[in-house]
A and B are shown apart, each in its own frame.
Chain A
Amino acid sequence: MDLNYNDEELAFRDEVRAFLKDKLPARIADKVKKQQRLTKEDMVEWHAILNDRGWLASAWPKEYGGAAWDAVQRNIFEEEACRAGAPRVVPFGIGMLAPVLMAFGSSEQCDHYLPRILDGTDWWCQGYSEPGAGSDLASLKTTAVREGDHYIVNGQKTWTTLGQHADWIFCLVRTSNEGKPQQGISFLLIDMATPGIEVRPIILLDGEHEVNEIFFDDVKVPVENLVGEENKGWTYAKYLLTHERTGTAGIGFSTEGLAQLKRIAKAQKKRGRPLAEDPLFAARMAKIEIDLAALRTTNLRVLQDAMSGAASPADSSMMKVKGTVIRQAINDLARRALGPHALPFVSEALDAGYNEPPIGPDYANPVAADYFNNRKLSIFAGSNEIQKNIISKLNGL
């Protein structure tokens, strides 16, 4: 047992730190740290900076322009990037579509799409969920009917994150009603500029436009845009879920969130003393810190197992549940720490250019809204109930 990173890993960490210090634009890091809105341009700019260094696609093999980092390296990068205030890498193209293309797509598809993901030509979004198909994804109804050398797509996707920016969407569509529902699903790439597609915003409880509904009305998609074989899409989607283990725990976010919470608790006063010194509040914070310290090690244990091929399929479900519960608990405490200052909320103040002096402490404005927004963490990417079902099922219950 050795709890520390080895020399090589430490050297890697220093390299990452130096890079972030040098190349992460202060303007963008400032927004992230102040929990302000990021524009599409901010995200694209950060992608380009990472890509220049060859670090955008950290998990891709070198032949496709990736960094080919192992799980521990990716974990180190995530921790350092969160600490520095880097925006997260938008996962849809890099982390979700690309591995599927590499594993199941044609070489033409890889050659065409992968470079465009790297250089920012295409912004991808994920079209899985539908109004009637959330946890029960296999019941999806959007159809793709083959007509000559095209599919004609009809139906509706929903909850599409950042779909308002997207050039392309990868969809699970129904190509057959034979057999089990899982057996009639195909994986299709659709150009968002195709006639018949309509994107409508969904505003979330905090007032933000983050997700969308996407309607497909007789949308013509060339058959070349099918990934792999027809009716095998479910297998491809599952492949992704079981292969993506790093990052599900969100340790970097929690670590940064905890640091921010501590700053708030130190600045907030209760009876003239920092709230951080209040026994009740300190106990609440300490509990989270204990949980996070344990989860950090669980995460590293899982990563090691994953690298040696010994990971249990239940691991990623466990990391998802505990990771999100901890992140949400941190948001919850930050909100509590503010006391009455949690109430005021000026939405416009989330934009970087906002110049009015803050109402209350300058860190207060986004905190409650962020707590509400992050209720999503236990709902999406497989709800925590579904993850627990999986864990039990894998253990024979």
Chain B
Amino acid sequence: MDFSLTDDRRMLADMATRFVREKYDIESRHKFAASDEGFSREIWGEFAELGLIGALFGEDVGGFGGTGFDLAVVFEELGKGLVVEPMLANLVAGKLVELAGSAEQKMLLEKVIGGETLLAFAHSEPESHYDLAHVATGAEKTEKGWRLTGHKSAVLNGDSADLLVVSARVSGDVADEEGIALFLVNPHAKGVAIRGCPTVDGGRVGDIALNGVEVSTHVRLGEEAFATIEQAFAAGIVAVSAEALGAMQVATEMTLEYLKTRKQFGVIIGRFQVLQHRYAEMLIEIEQARSSLINAAGHLESGRELREWNVSALKNLVGRVGHLVAEETIQMHGGIGMTWEYALPHYAKRLTMIDHQFGDEDHHIERVIALSAG
């Protein structure tokens, strides 16, 4: 047993830490978030240069990492800085290409890793809630390829991608696991209409209408896609949970500092036992979240059942702990915790909204139950 990081990962973590600390203060973050695309192309270029994007993918596609622990290390640091650059979107969409793409399609990832091409995964739909198999968007066979028709909603960074990975149904019923296909779609193609929109936690999403979009045969990614999507989501969940862990740490550190300095009734408020206990409670739960993250990251390369059980356990736990930390850190700050100018509530908002990505607490407890029964 060894819970220490390898030297390579330690270096990766240090680099990410330094970058976030030196280049990513909260004012810059707000500035990037408020820009048209919702992030900075310049920062994205630096991520590429530093190899942070490469760390998300395996060596055979030009990366130098891609395992659960690589993702965990990078995203934890991003979470500490509330980074708004589209790492998560590119990780998940890139994983689909890495997992299911042909040799030629995988070449694309070199450009992703180099920071030149941005991807997004257009999967979620107005009525899918968190159901992975829910795909109403249809892919109809044509002479030259496929015609895609449907509506994708809340697509993470879907408004800035150079290339979309779109899920669509080639056969079966709306919620069948079988019959889902993936296509690489040019967002500027005829019939694609994208409306970008900010999110409440400083990100961006795209609402994407596909009105009979014609695509050629060779843009299809692999064959049956459900298992691929599940596996890419597993990577996404490890990543976003690590991000949450980073955010939780900063939020509790800020709170500790506040408990030690804010005075009311002639003493620091950290002297009030009710606040001490609640602070302690958060620390206990955060350690739980960290261990759960280690479980899932360590099983990201395991067989489906083990992987998925641990991933859903992680996302459920992070949902619960994130909620606790978000509400408690605001509460313990009093009015200051409610203000835009102070960084803390932005961490709380991100923590809360992470529960709305890749399935919430309830979705994942159902999966844990189902996977335990199986």
Contacts and interface: CB of A to CB of B under 8 A. Distances in A.
A378 B200 contact: no
A136 B264 CA distance: 5
Contacts of B129: 268-271, 275, 339-340
Given A134-B334, A339-B360, A343-B154, A204 B340 contact: yes
A125 B333 CA distance: 23
B198 interface: yes
A375 B360 contact: no
Interface of B: 124, 126-131, 134, 153-154, 174-175, 195, 197-201, 203, 205, 207, 263-266, 272, 274-275, 327, 330-331, 334-335, 337-341, 345-346, 348-349, 352-353, 355-357, 360, 362, 365-366
A375 B356 contact: no
A72 B126 CA distance: 44
Given A268-B129, A271-B175, A385-B275, A340 B340 contact: no
Contact of A205 (B126, B263, B339, B366): B339
A207 B340 contact: yes
Given A205-B346, A270-B129, A376-B335, 14 more contacts: A205-B338, A206-B200, A269-B129, A271-B131, A272-B175, A275-B129, A280-B365, A280-B366, A340-B124, A342-B353, A344-B197, A346-B197, A372-B349, A384-B331
B86 to A, nearest CB: 14
Contacts of A278: 362
B335 A158 contact: yes
A336 interface: yes
A378 to B, nearest CB: 6
B153 A372 contact: no
A280 B272 contact: no
Interface string A354-385: 00000111000000110110011011100111
Nearest to A132: B263
Contact of A270 (B131, B195, B341): B131
A74 interface: no
A46 interface: no
A341 interface: yes
29 contacts: A134-B264, A135-B264, A135-B265, A136-B264, A139-B264, A159-B335, A203-B339, A203-B341, A205-B330, A211-B335, A270-B129, A270-B131, A271-B131, A335-B352, A339-B130, A340-B129, A341-B153, A342-B353, A343-B154, A343-B357, A345-B197, A346-B197, A360-B126, A372-B348, A375-B330, A375-B338, A379-B337, A379-B338, A383-B331
B131 to A, nearest CB: 6
Given A205-B346, A270-B131, A341 B154 contact: yes
Contact of A344 (B154, B346, B357): B154
Given A139-B264, A205-B338, A345 B360 contact: no
Nearest to B173: A272
A202 interface: yes
A384 B129 CA distance: 34
Give 10 nearest A-B pairs by CB, closest first.
A205-B345, A345-B200, A340-B154, A136-B264, A203-B340, A343-B199, A368-B200, A339-B129, A269-B127, A344-B197
